[in-house]
Amino acid sequence: MCVVRLRSTILRQAHVPWYKKFNWYSFALYRYKVYDVIWRVSATATIGACLYLSVAVVQTWNASVHRTWQHYARKERERAELMDFIRQAREKGTLPPSKVAGFE
C-alpha cells in the first residue's frame, strides 16, 4: 500500500505545472542577489565617473591657466623687447624723443 501511495504521489507531481513547483522564496533570494550586484556595479561606475570627471576638470583647468600664463609671459617678453628696440633707436637718434613725459 505504501508503494502504491508513493507512486501515485510521484505521478501527481509529474503533472503539476512548473509554476506550482517553482520555489518562489529561492527565486526572490536570487533576484535580490542580482539586484545587489547591479547596485554595486552602478555605484562603482558612478563613483568612478565622478572621479574621472573631477580629474579631467582639474587637468583642463590647469592646462588653461598654464596656457594663459604662457600667453601673458610671451606678451610681456615681446613688450620688453619692443621697448628695448625703441630705447636703442632713441639713443641712436633714429626716433625722436617721446612726447609722453617719463615714458621709455
Q: Which residue has the cell 547596485?
A: 39
Residues 6 or more apart in contact with residue 98 via CB below 8 angstroms: 90, 104
Check residues 99 and 70 and name the one with the higher pLDDT.
70
Q: Which residue has the cell 503533472?
A: 15
- 22 within a domain of the structure (yes/no): yes
Decide if 97 contacts 86 (C-beta within 8 A). Answer: no
Number of domains in the chain: 1
Task: Provide the residue type at 44 as one letter.
Answer: T
pLDDT band at 6 (very low <50, low <70, confident <90, very high): low
Domain that holds residue 22: 15-92
- 88 within a domain of the structure (yes/no): yes
pLDDT band at 98 (very low <50, low <70, confident <90, very high): confident
pLDDT at 14: 64
For the full predicted model, state whether its pTM sits above 0.75: no
